């Protein structure tokens, strides 16, 4: 899906937990996430901290969309 959206001309960032799969399917901008059943959250954290975690991941995704890349890049920090 990531690839078809990219092909259509829109920059796309893939937020996912199993990064090797994302690399194999051909996503270009990749942000690793927390866990398969809760990529953008952590039920072990209090709600406010969990939202802060989610925000930091989304900010990283937006930073990835704002970063020129050549080929595949994993934004892991």
Partner 1 sequence: MKDRLRVVHYLNQFFGQIGGEDKAGMTPVDKPGHVGPGMALAAALGTGAEIVGTVICGDTYFGENIDRATGEVVELISKYQPDLVIAGPAFNAGRYGTACGAVCAAVAERLGVPVVSGMYPENPGVDMFRSKVYIVETGDSAVGMRQAIPKMAALALKLAAGEKLSPAADGYISRGIRENYFADTTGAARAVEMLVKKLKGEAFTTEYPMPKFDRVEPNPAIENMATATIALVTSGGIVPKGNPDHIESSSASKFGRYSLEGVDVLTAETHQTAHGGYDPVYANQNPNRVLPVDVMRDLEREGVIGKLHNTFYTTVGNGTSVANAKKYAAAIANELIEAKVQGVVLTST
User: For residues 53 and 27, what is the distance between their CA atoms, to the nearest angstrom?
Assistant: 23
Is residue 61 part of the contact set for partner 1 (CB under 8 A)? yes
Q: If you ran DSSP here, which 8-state letter would residue 32 be given?
A: E
∠ CA 47-53-55 to the nearest 5 degrees?
A: 105
Q: Could you give the CA distance from residue 74 to residue 28 in angstroms, rounded to a whole number? A: 8
Instruction: Among 20, 46, 48, 49, indicate the residue that binds partner 1 (CB under 8 A).
Output: 20
Take residue 75 and report the two structure tokens written for it.
Answer: 């934004």
**Complex with partner 1: residue 33 or 77, whichever CB lies closer:** 33
CB of 77 to partner 1, least distance (A): 18
Interface with partner 1 (CB under 8 A), residue total 51
Q: Where along the sequence are the contacts to partner 1 (CB under 8 A)? A: 1-18, 20-22, 24-26, 28-29, 33, 35-41, 43, 50-51, 54-55, 57-59, 61-62, 65-71
């Amino acid at each position: 899906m990531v690839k078809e959206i990219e092909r259509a001309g829109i920059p796309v960032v893939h937020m996912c937990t199993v990064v090797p799969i994302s690399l194999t399917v051909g996503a270009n901008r990749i942000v690793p996430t927390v866990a398969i059943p809760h990529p953008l959250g952590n039920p072990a954290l209090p709600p406010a901290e969990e939202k802060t975690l989610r925000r930091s991941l989304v900010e990283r995704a937006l930073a990835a969309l704002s970063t020129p890349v050549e080929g595949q890049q994993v934004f892991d920090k």
